Each structure stands twice: as C-alpha cells, then as structure tokens.
Amino acid sequence: MSLPKTLAEDVARNLVMVARLIDEDPEEAYAYSRIALRLASRVAAVREAAGFAAYATQKYAEALAEFRAARRMTGSVELWPVMADCERGLGRPERAMAMAGEPEVQKLDKAGQVEMRLVAAGARRDMGQIDAAIVTLQSPELASSSVQPWTPRLRYAYADALLEAGREDEAREWFGKALEADKDGATDASDRLAELDGVEFVDVLGDDETDTAGEAAPRDEDGPADGSAKA
C-alpha cells in the first residue's frame, strides 16, 4: 500500500536505522522497528523488518508472527527458512523439520534452499540426531568447489556437526575449507581450527607492562618540555 509522503519518509528513516543497527545493536534496531510498525503496520516491508529485528533479539514468537504477516501480504516464500528457524528458537525443532518437507521449499531460490538445509540440519541436532544432521548437510552445494555467498556457513555447519560426532580429522578439514571460502570473516572458522590444533592466544603484555605503557614518561625537570637539546 502507498503512504502519504511525510509518513513514508518517517517510516523509511526508521527502516534505515533498523538495517544500520541490526548487527551491532539489535536492541536499538528493535526499538526503531517498533516505531515503524506503529506508523505503517500494513506495509509488508515494515512487517518483515520488524520480524528480523525481533529475530535478532531472540524474540522468536514475535518474529514468527511478523514473518507470517509479511508472507500473507506478499505471497512470497522467501521467509520460509527463517520462519522455520523461529520454530527452532521456540523449542519446536519437529515443526522446523516439517516445514523443511513442505512444497514451499521447492519454490525457494538456491540460496533459500541452502538456508533451509542449514535450518533442517540444526533441527536434527536439536533433537539429538547428529548423524542425520550430517547427512542433511551433504549436498551438491557442499561438494562444489565453487564459492557462493552461502559456502562458508554451509562448510562451517558441516565441520561443526562432524566435530560433535567425534570425527575430528574430518571436522578440521572442513573448518579449513570454510576458512578458505570465508573472505569476509562471517564465521569463526580460524578460531575453531586453532582450538583443534591446540593453539592458545596469550596476551604478551603482562599487567605490569600494560600499566607501565599507560603511564606518561617523567619529564626531565632541567630540560625543555619539547625534548629538544639545550643550546
């Protein structure tokens, strides 16, 4: 639906703040999303933004309600994977698994289908079915040498599942593959590899050295303040 110009501008400003803050300050992003929702609850983009802000703050019931509303307005299946993940967040992995088998999944684009696979594998792990989770992640997308936006997270999830299953050597290999694909640092694959290799990161500055480094050097009372030599 269309909004009056002034109202549309107010809504847009709040949505911009949601997008800007959702990663670094999700609670603040959530607050902006509530303002936008009060102003334009019948706009699908507002309901979707409110859903993601609620999701980022782990308000899964609220997020699911907003995603459902947005889906009713648009008819799109794009939000299906995150809706299923909300079911996981609400402690209902069996519902997430049921959603993974619905016809909507076949209507998703490739990225959406990979996301649904990740959610389904997570649901399997929630139910203690680690071997089934590993099988769920095994796919042409996982085996492909081509690096796509979803590749780091898919490889990382597979490595993490292997590690939980006690398959440490394979897990290390796949954490390495995740790191190779993760140019933007979307995962902590490097840290996980370091843990597996027994590498410990130690602060090379002790407390005493840190304190000393933070103090100003005493001035030579006989010398000039700028440190230049006396004539």
Reply yes or no on whether the pLDDT at 160 is more than 70: yes
The pLDDT assigned to 146 comes to 95
Give the count of alpha carbons within 13 A of 10, CB side only: 12
CATH number at residue 21: 1.25.40.10
Judge contact between 156 and 114, C-beta under 8 A.
no
The pLDDT assigned to 97 comes to 98
**CA-CA distance, 192 to 176, in Å (whole number)?**
9
Read off the pLDDT band of 221 (50, 70, 90). very low
Residue 27 covered by a domain: yes
Which tokens sit at 128? 């203690």
**CA-CA distance, 128 to 108, in Å (whole number)?**
27
Q: How many domains does the chain have?
A: 1
The pLDDT assigned to 117 comes to 98
**CA-CA distance, 12 to 138, in Å (whole number)?**
41
Mean pLDDT, the chain, rounded, equals 89
**In this predicted model, what pLDDT tens digit does every residue of 197-209 receive, in sequence order?**
888 766 555 555 5
- Whole-angstrom CA distances from 69 to 39, 94, 130 are 16, 22, 33
The pLDDT assigned to 178 comes to 97
The pLDDT assigned to 220 comes to 41
Residue 87 covered by a domain: no
What type of residue is 125? R
Q: What SS3 string covers the chain?
A: CCCCHHHHHHHHHHHHHHHHHCCCCHHHHHHHHHHHHHHCCCCHHHHHHHHHHHHHCCCHHHHHHHHHHHHHHHCCCCCHHHHHHHHHHCCCHHHHHHHHCCHHHHHCCHHHHHHHHHHHHHHHHHCCCHHHHHHHHCCHHHHCCCCCCCHHHHHHHHHHHHHHCCCHHHHHHHHHHHHHHCCCCCCCHHHHHHHHCCCCCCCCCCHHHHHHHCCCCCCCCCCCCCCCCCC
Read off the pLDDT band of 227 (50, 70, 90). very low
Residue 228 covered by a domain: no
Higher-scoring residue by pLDDT: 178, 209: 178
The region of weakest confidence among 84-98, 177-191, 217-231 is: 217-231
The pLDDT assigned to 223 comes to 38
Residue 208 covered by a domain: no
Residue 231 covered by a domain: no
The pLDDT assigned to 202 comes to 63
**In this predicted model, what pLDDT tens digit does every residue of 27-78 receive, in sequence order?**
999 999 999 999 999 999 999 999 999 999 999 999 999 999 999 999 999 9
Judge contact between 156 and 131, C-beta under 8 A.
no
Residue 178 covered by a domain: no
The pLDDT assigned to 200 comes to 72
Task: Read off the pLDDT of each residue in 74-95 and give the average, rounded to a whole number.
Answer: 98
Reply yes or no on whether the pLDDT at 137 is more than 60: yes
Residue 69 covered by a domain: yes
Residue 190 covered by a domain: no
Reply yes or no on whether the pLDDT at 16 is more than 80: yes
Which tokens sit at 145? 């040498």
Task: Read off the pLDDT of each residue in 160-185 and give the average, rounded to a whole number.
Answer: 97
The pLDDT assigned to 198 comes to 85
Angle formed by the axes of helices 130-137 and 151-164, nearest 10°: 150
Domain with 27 in it: 10-76
- Whole-angstrom CA distances from 156 to 29, 42, 188, 191, 214 are 28, 38, 9, 12, 40
